[in-house]
Chain A
Amino acid sequence: MPDGAKPVLDVRGLQTVFRTRGGDVHAVNSVSFHLEPGELLGVVGESGSGKSVTMMSLIGLLPMPPAEVREGEVLLGDMDILKISPAQLRDVRGRRIGFVFQDPMTSLNPVYNIGNQVMEPLRRHMGMNKAQAYTRAVELMELVGIPDPERRLKDYPHQFSGGMRQRVMIAIALACDPEVLIADEPTTALDVTIQAQIIELVKELRTKLGMAIVWITHDLGVIAGIADRVIVMYAGQVVEQAPVKELFANPQHPYTRALLKTIPSVTGERETRLKVIEGQPPILGAAPTACPFAPRCGHAFDRCGAENPIRRALGAGRVGYGHDVACHWDASKGAAHA
């Protein structure tokens, strides 16, 4: 992707806090990233790293309260969608930004048939009448590879398999031809073979329709096969950002390196134990003032406990473009960063 193309989605300094009885939990801490037209951005990180919360909060899908978006801008084109009214935001949801969620078993309403649920966004956003919406729904079902669409539209969610339901979710998300598709671990709940089918489907739809995609996952193998660019998240912040090949060839952040090491190899000697990253990601009661990964990091030194590193670009590029990392330790020199 060329530098400088106007991003379809530009997130700057997003900060989300959950207000709980035990105090605030800082789930997203000044996250910035952008999404270029037609790009597939992978977002990785272990459970609890703030991947989903980031995506949900930028479109207001978190229950508020307890969630609260404290700061930041989310520019969709020229419009800051954190500042618009709830009614305007509803015009954006489903129309300009589509969603696919993790668990297709529970993401569809069990008491309405598939046709009803696929036609809903069409009638809501596109001003279609029933007949037009039905025609489009049949097209969409064909598009996502569901055979015999006319009959299947009359069926209920429980009559579909997991993979088929996820196809329906994708059809719903793409119904109004959105600019951005946010897929929140869309394959996590599926069998490996079905996972591969869904990934192939998304790749194919992307070339056909040209929307930009944010793909949230904790599966680096999936990212390697599908993403153009990757951001790695830890404790609600972006710790590394790079094009996918660069990230796998030249990981900088100790967390990224540790993540890559946890992938079991299919070639070479069989390992007796799977590699893990010891410890748990922290639950942040306050905005971090130290590097949140320091307690689990093999390279941590005194500066890591005193100062939260900001993202710095590697080489000549800008932060957010090319390769950048938030770490005090310089992996290429094997020493502390100046």
Chain B
Amino acid sequence: MLTFTLRRLMFAIPTLLFISLLIFLLVDLAPGSPMSQIPLTVPPDVRLKIMEAMGVNEPVFVRYFLWLKQFFVVEPLVLWDHWFGTSYSDGMQRIVSWQSRSPVMDIIVERMPQTLTVIGTSYVLGVMIALPIGIYSAYRQYSWFDQIGTFIAMIGFSVPTFFTGLVLILVFAVNLQWFPSIYDTSLRVTDWDSFLAQARQMAMPVMVLALFNAAQISRYMRSSMLENLGADYVRTARAKGLSERIVVLKHVVRNSMIPVVTVIALGIPSIFGGAIITEQVFRVNGLGALLIGAIQGSDLPTVQTLTFIFAVLIVLFNLIADILYGMLDPRIRYD
């Protein structure tokens, strides 16, 4: 297992390098200029100087290798310095946002907590709702519970999140006034009241995303359970006189989890990127909002860096899914 993991990590390096090149070139091809944010009153020769100072006039591959160096050498050194109080990175050029002129990584670190609390909570909640529903729906296939579950799941993933989000805002924020419609990033949880306030402002975005995630995962769980419930080993388990509880929860669930684990693990990177729209609807100042802002402002370094981080996450969770596979299923041994 260890050699497998190491081998996979080694293979990830060329994959990621290729992805980074692709992202860099694609973003570079996109129309728009970093000067679009600069007022038209600035004379052309000054514009040229600004462009030169930003290094935009360099050929694409030079900029690519510079970015690579900054991402893989400078930024880790900065992190090292930050943790251990050393000063290896002094005087090195970090990846700087064209919009705000501050290092991209600092902005990302600043925005990360909002995304993690809201989107992360909704994902965990979604999985926790989805698994029991999927298990019970399959066990009682075509029962009332299953029919209602199927109906809600259909709504859950066929209605887009920006729509459910707006409906929730209309009902709970405008009409009932239970929850605030705008997420307040500056809120610090210090006591019970501020905790309640935090819970209230998280409620709607979490609900919207949890519904969406639960809808998807519960369907996967249900179909995987159905496949296994008819298996011969289930009949063997029943023939041993085991209770239905043990038959289902011990024998069937573990087998059914194998494909679902992939779906769950591969869904994790998308909670960063895929929640872009929800963050917009509820004004959550997270990574999704950052990416949208950067795209609109032609802030190439931010877009490239964020997109690449999403790519790294996808590759990483792919690997994690494979490792979990091996743990759940003894037939899969990687060595």
Contacts and interface: CB of A to CB of B under 8 A. Distances in A.
Given A156-B330, A158-B330, A110 B233 contact: yes
B233 A108 contact: yes
Contacts of B232: 101, 103, 106-107
Contacts of B254: 111-112
A91 B241 CA distance: 6
A193 B235 CA distance: 27
B233 A172 contact: no
Interface in A257-308: none
A104 B331 CA distance: 16
Interface string A169-185: 10011000000000000
A312 interface: no
A95 B242 CA distance: 11
A143 interface: no
A94 B240 contact: yes
A53 B230 CA distance: 16
Nearest to B234: A109
A215 B238 CA distance: 20
Contact of B241 (A94, A103, A156, A158): A94
B239 interface: yes
Given A94-B242, A107-B236, 18 more contacts: A61-B238, A91-B241, A98-B239, A101-B235, A101-B236, A101-B239, A106-B231, A107-B232, A107-B233, A107-B235, A110-B329, A110-B331, A111-B255, A120-B237, A120-B240, A124-B241, A125-B241, A156-B330
B241 A110 contact: no
Interface in B239-279: 239-243, 251, 254-255, 258
A16 to B, nearest CB: 16
A109 B239 CA distance: 13
Contacts of A112: 251, 254
B330 A110 contact: yes
30 contacts: A61-B239, A92-B241, A93-B238, A93-B240, A93-B241, A98-B239, A99-B239, A101-B235, A101-B236, A106-B231, A107-B232, A107-B233, A107-B235, A107-B236, A108-B236, A109-B233, A109-B236, A109-B251, A110-B255, A110-B329, A111-B328, A112-B251, A112-B254, A113-B330, A120-B237, A121-B242, A125-B241, A156-B331, A158-B331, A173-B239
Nearest to A173: B239
Given A90-B241, A124-B241, A125-B241, A172 B236 contact: yes
Nearest to B232: A106
Contact of B242 (A99, A103, A110, A124): A124
Contacts of A172: 236, 240
A156 B255 CA distance: 14
Contacts of A156: 330-331
Contacts of A90: 241-243
Interface of A: 59, 61, 63, 90-95, 98-99, 101, 103, 106-113, 120-121, 124-125, 156, 158, 169, 172-173
Contacts of B329: 110-111
B103 to A, nearest CB: 47
Contacts of B241: 90-95, 121, 124-125
Contacts of A109: 233, 236-237, 251, 255
Contact of A94 (B233, B239, B255, B331): B239
A93 to B, nearest CB: 4
A114 to B, nearest CB: 11
Contact of B240 (A63, A113, A124): A124
A111 B330 contact: yes
Contacts of A63: 230
A157 B243 CA distance: 22
Contacts of B251: 109, 112
A282 B251 CA distance: 36
A125 B240 CA distance: 9
Interface in B208-239: 230-233, 235-239
A61 to B, nearest CB: 6
**In the complex, the 8 A-B pairs of residues with the closest C-beta atoms, listed nearest first:** A94-B241, A93-B241, A94-B240, A106-B232, A99-B239, A109-B233, A156-B330, A121-B240
A241 to B, nearest CB: 26
Interface string B277-301: 0000000000000000000000000
Most chain-A Cβ atoms within 10 A of its Cβ — which of B236, B258, B329, B330? B236
A103 B241 CA distance: 19
A99 B235 CA distance: 10
A166 to B, nearest CB: 12
Nearest to A159: B330
A63 B251 CA distance: 17
Contacts of B233: 106-110
A34 to B, nearest CB: 22
Contacts of A59: 239
Contacts of B235: 61, 101, 107
A24 B258 CA distance: 37
A172 B236 CA distance: 9
Among B237, B239, B328, B331, find the residue whose CB has the most chain A CB atoms closer than 10 A. B239
A169 B236 contact: yes
Contacts of A91: 241
B236 A99 contact: yes
A191 B73 CA distance: 62
Nearest to A62: B235
Contacts of B237: 109, 120
A94 to B, nearest CB: 4
Nearest to A182: B239
A160 to B, nearest CB: 12
A101 B235 CA distance: 9
B258 to A, nearest CB: 8
Nearest to A98: B239
B251 to A, nearest CB: 5
A153 B103 CA distance: 58
A158 B333 CA distance: 12
A108 B330 CA distance: 13
Contact of B239 (A93, A103, A125, A158): A93
B255 to A, nearest CB: 6
